[in-house]
Homo-oligomer: A and B are copies of this chain.
Amino acid sequence: MNSAAVQKAPKAAKRSSSADQLLEAASKILAQRNSIDVSLSEIAEASGLNSALIKYHFGSKDGLLVALVRRDATLALKKLDDLVAMQLAPETKVRLHIAGVINTYTKYPYLNRLIHVLLTNSNEKLAREIADFFVKPLVDSQKKILEEGVAAGIFRNVDPMFFYYAIVGACDHIFFGRVSREFVFGAPVITSKTRENYIEFVADMALKSLRRE
């Protein structure tokens, strides 16, 4: 290793760390809001870093938001991959998958919204990239679980598109509706007990829908 490389290492580590700090600051701000409106200067202020670093690391605010989706979604998709590969009954996989989706939205309540806005407002190339990166693997994993259940004679055949939108919509909407939760149901916060009960409600609904009669 020459001295130039030695000198470069700490710089690279610092770069990576400041990029992480910016993502974490953006994540924290978005988790506290109902919208995905966030400015470069807010992110910079919350991270304690200069907003020029956002352009340096991510090119633009959208670049940072895409990186945030990648960061948050990567772990969730990895867990789902692992789940699909496990030796478990298809019913157990459906249940754990729904718990995983709801727990992901608990941790990153802005994630589905952010993906939607990036899909909707980006140029077609970026929108396809996000769909390929996030939605397609999720749909493919669901399909595999559904097919296993059908092959085992437990599940009926359902349209994977219907299953995807019904289940993701059900999991997402209780987070999405924070204001109506507060004003109509008096439940501004989803407690861990409520979350557990909602996982049970949605999983039970999904399994009853899937089971052969």
Contact = CB atoms under 8 A, between A and B. Distances in A.
Copies in the complex: 2
28 contacts: A35-B117, A116-B176, A119-B179, A119-B180, A120-B178, A120-B179, A127-B179, A135-B180, A135-B183, A136-B183, A136-B184, A161-B185, A162-B197, A162-B202, A164-B185, A165-B170, A165-B173, A165-B174, A166-B173, A166-B205, A167-B170, A169-B169, A169-B170, A169-B176, A172-B173, A173-B173, A205-B206, A209-B209
A187 B208 contact: no
A128 interface: yes
A137 B28 CA distance: 34
A173 B180 contact: no
A116 B33 CA distance: 13
**Contact-size category for A:** 35 or more
A191 to B, nearest CB: 12
A106 to B, nearest CB: 14
Interface of A: 34-35, 116-117, 119-121, 127-128, 131-132, 135-136, 139, 158-159, 161-162, 164-174, 176-181, 183-185, 187, 197-198, 201-202, 204-206, 208-209
A139 B184 CA distance: 8
Given A120-B35, A131-B184, A169 B179 contact: no
